[in-house]
Amino acid sequence: MIREPALLRVSHLRTSFHTQNHMVTAVDDVSIEVKPRQIVALVGESGSGKSVTAMSILGLVDPPGIVENGEIWLGANNLLGYSRRQLRKLRGKEMAVIFQDPMNALNPVLTIGRQIMETIMLHKRVSKKEAKVLALRQMQQAGLSDPEQLLNTYPFQISGGMCQRVMICIALVSGARLLIADEPTTALDVTIQAQILKELDRIRKERNVGILLITHDLGVVAEIADYVYVMKSGKIVESSNVFKLFSEPEHPYTKHLLDCR
C-alpha cells in the first residue's frame, strides 16, 4: 500500500521567547503531520503551546519569540528557509488561517464583499468585476445566504456564526491547500458550532484540503478529527487516531483531559 505524502510536516520544532533575564520554550521538539483531506487535531489546555505552534507554522511569531530549531515542510518547501515576504505570499495562497474570534479578525470598517474581493485580487490577476463574480461564487459554496446583500454588509451587522463562515470563505478564496483553524468554534453557541464543524468536514472532502485544528475541546475532536496530537507544556505527549485515543488513552494527561470532559 502506497503511503500518501504529507501536506504539512513539522519536525522537531522548537520556539522560544527571550527577554533580558529569561528564556521560555513554548514549543519543544514538536513533530506533526497533516495529509490532504485529513483533519488533525492539536489538543491541550490553555498555555500548552498549541497556538504558538500554529503561529510558528504560519511564520507569525514576532520578537521576542523565535523559531530556534526544526523544519516546517509545506509540500516540498521548507518554510523556515523563507523570508517574511515569501511567507506573506504563501499565507492565503497555499495556507490560510481561521481565528477563534471572527468579529475581531474581520475589518469592522470594510464591507464583507470588499474584504473577500481584496483577498481574491491580492492572490489572483483578476479585475474588480471578475473578483466580485468569484466572491459571490465562493460565498454560495460556503453556504452564506443571500450573497448579493451580504456583499454590502459590515461585520457588525451579522452574527458570530455568519462572521466565521465569512472567515472560512476568505481563507479559501485563493485555493489554499492547508487550513489552520485556531479554536474556530470557541465563541459560538452549540448549534452554530455544529454547523461550522460540518462546513469544515465538507471543505476537506470536496477541496482536498488538509486541516490542522487547534482546540481544547475533546467534544470537537471526537466529532470531526481523524488523528490527534495531545500537547502539554510545549511537548507532544501522545498521538494516535481518534478512535484509539478515546478508547485506549495511554498518557496520564490524556486520561485527565478525558476525565474532565
Which residues of the chain register pLDDT less than 50? 1
Q: Cα(63)–Cα(84) distance, rounded to whole angstroms? A: 13
pLDDT of the residue at 3: 61
Q: Cα(228)–Cα(1) distance, rounded to whole angstroms? A: 23
pLDDT of the residue at 196: 87
Q: Cα(153)–Cα(156) distance, rounded to whole angstroms? A: 8
Q: Cα(203)–Cα(182) distance, rounded to whole angstroms? A: 16
Delimit the domains of the chain by residue range: 35-58+83-260
Q: Cα(97)–Cα(219) distance, rounded to whole angstroms? A: 21
- Max Cα separation, the chain? 56
**190: how many CB neighbours lie within 10 A of its CB?**
8
Domain 35-58+83-260 has CATH 1.10.565.10: no
Cis peptide before 64 (omega within 30 of 0): yes
* Contact call for residues 141 and 60 (beta carbons, < 8 A): no
pLDDT of the residue at 1: 42
Take residue 118 and report the three cell numbers written for it: 481584496
Contacts of 199 (CB under 8 A, 6+ apart): 142, 143, 165, 168
Q: What is the pLDDT of residues 120-144, one digit of tens each?
A: 888 888 899 999 999 998 888 777 8
Q: What is the pLDDT of residues 67-77, one digit of tens each?
A: 999 999 998 88
Residues listed for the chain = 261
Q: What is the dihedral of CA 204, 55, 44, 229, to 10 degrees?
A: 50
The pTM for the full model equals 0.91
**71: how many CB neighbours lie within 10 A of its CB?**
14
In a 3-state reduction of DSSP, which class is residue 212? Answer: strand
**3: how many CB neighbours lie within 10 A of its CB?**
6
Q: Cα(45)–Cα(40) distance, rounded to whole angstroms? A: 17
